[in-house]
Amino acid sequence: MEIKSRRVPSLKTCIPLWAAVLPLSLVGLFEVLKGNTAFMSGWVFGVMAPIERFFGRLWSIFPFSVAEALTALFLAGCVAWLVRAVVLVIRQRAPLPFLRRLLALGAVWLWLWAGLCWLWNAAYYVPTFAQREGLNTAPYSVEELAAVTRYFAQRAAALSSQVARDDEGHFAENLSGYFRRGAGVYGNIARKFSSLEIQSVRAKPLLCSRLQSVLGFTGVYFPFTGEANVNVDAPACLIPATIAHEMSHQRMVASELEANFVGIAACTACEDTVFQYSGYLMGLIQLCNALYSVSPDTWYAIAGEAFTPELSTDWSDNNAYWAALKSPVEEAAGEMYDSFLKGNDQELGIRSYGACVDLMVSYYSRQLK
């Protein structure tokens, strides 16, 4: 009797399946191991960080953001792949090639997610910057918050007249200078916090900065290239502090809470007047949000005492810029990022930007004594 063998799936059919199983396995392994702090610390500081710093130095030879170029090519490729799939299904009137193409595209996105887990999300599961450096926060009074806020307002006001301005009094420092000088902004603060000591590479301006503003973001760290990318369409007075913020991610400061604090601390400790002013201004915005919510009269009193015309102009320019771009698109993007942060056990989500005030009050209060 003749025995007919079963038809074996072709390699062409199996490849997309295996391409999906492997990244799913990597994601599953990440979920299993992410609670093991010792293992994740070994991975992040022994493997992940050196790899990303190598790529950061490698791609620093290009003046443009390689991350932005790769992202544009990747998204264009996805669209072209989908269009081709639709054309094939219309011409051949067969759904199988279309489904195979969808499976292959889904596998690519799964690889991207697996890469993000192991090349960035892992940094959320190691000891925080505060823990690594022995920084402790404690409950503070409204008076202590007001004292630090007044200090930042006075420092920002004193520096506001020392930066370049146009005929109408608006901030007018040369943009390219930010990125050229930004690589040295961590020199002083790294002497105080040793975990920040690495070979710096300059941040990169984003070509599609306006899109970043529409989405409500001022910058992005891209772990696949190790680049700190900055929105240069945002108000210029805060770009230097944003550069410092994004460069903190290159130093494996993952949480936005701590990245904001580290960026501000780096700016205020450096010897560059423009970065100092930008850091004090960004810190003042954070402190204002916290103080106004508990004692608006105190905030208005500090602003009335300290604000110079130059500082008031920058404050108004920043508020007007973001108010003009407020839209449902920004809100949706914010909610998505909030979900991403909370999905990586960042309990405060996107609100962690404001929570850096705890670290600021603790750190700068000691300087006021």
**In tens digits, what is the pLDDT along the chain, a chain of 369 residues?**
444 444 444 445 445 667 778 999 999 999 999 999 999 999 999 999 999 999 999 999 999 999 999 999 999 999 998 888 888 777 777 677 778 888 888 889 999 999 999 999 999 999 999 999 998 888 888 999 999 999 999 999 999 999 999 999 999 998 888 898 998 999 999 999 999 999 989 999 999 999 999 888 899 999 999 999 999 999 999 999 999 999 999 999 998 889 999 999 999 999 999 999 999 999 999 999 889 988 999 999 999 999 999 999 999 999 999 999 875 644 554 455 455 445 554 444 334 445 689 999 999 988 876
List residues bridging with 229 in a β-sheet.
204, 220
Rounded to the nearest 10°, the torsion over CA 46, 51, 53, 56 is -170
> Reduced to 3 states, what is the DSSP secondary structure of residue 205?
strand
Task: Locate 28 and state its tokens.
Answer: 């599953």
Q: How far apart are CA 279 and CA 265, in angstroms?
A: 7
Is the CB of residue 118 less than 8 Å from the CB of residue 338?
A: no
Strands (E), 140-208: 204-205
What is the pTM for the complete model shown? 0.88
Task: Locate 275 and state its tokens.
Answer: 């970065």
Task: Locate 106 and state its tokens.
Answer: 């889904």
Predicted local confidence at residue 2, as pLDDT: 47
291 CB neighbour count, 10 Å cutoff: 22
Q: How far is CA 103 from the centre of its chain?
A: 31
Burial of 176 (0-12, 13-18, 19+ CB in 10 A): exposed
Q: How far apart are CA 79 and CA 105, in angstroms?
A: 10
